[in-house]
Amino acid sequence: MSQSTDLNDRTRFDVREIPGRVKHVQILQRWIDLPVGEYFVLINDHDPVPLYHQFSAQYPGAFRWEYLQRGPEEFQVKITRTSATATPVAPPR
């Protein structure tokens, strides 16, 4: 059985069909809504490394990023909320 079929609906967040213009917003909102210590598994059709950089810039130290599967056709990343954050850190200007 593959990892993607082992995941339950509560933890699985498949974003492959979400339009790019709203994808990051929906992913970030899903993470913001998580209680500390909880996680979801992001499923995407490409490596979400730009999203990792966005998390790192806006929420440094508040998340854990763990690849469960690295392509080539499907990427799975376990994203855990490790601490509470009131607001994102403003990006540098």
Report which of residues 46 and 1 the model is more confident about: 46
Residue 89 maps to a domain: no
CA dihedral 38→68→21→56, nearest 10 degrees, is: 60
Q: What is the pTM of this model?
A: 0.84
CATH code, domain carrying 34 = 3.30.110.40
For 9-65, write each residue's pLDDT tens digit: 779 999 999 999 999 999 999 999 999 999 999 999 999 999 999 999 999 999 999
Find out whether 51 and 79 touch, Cβ atoms under 8 Å. no
Range of the domain at 40: 3-81
What pLDDT does 4 receive?
45
> Can you give the pLDDT at residue 1?
38
Check residue 90 and give its pLDDT.
64
Q: Residue 49: enclosing H or E segment and its boundaries?
A: helix 49-58
Number of domains in the chain: 1
Domain assignment present for 61: yes
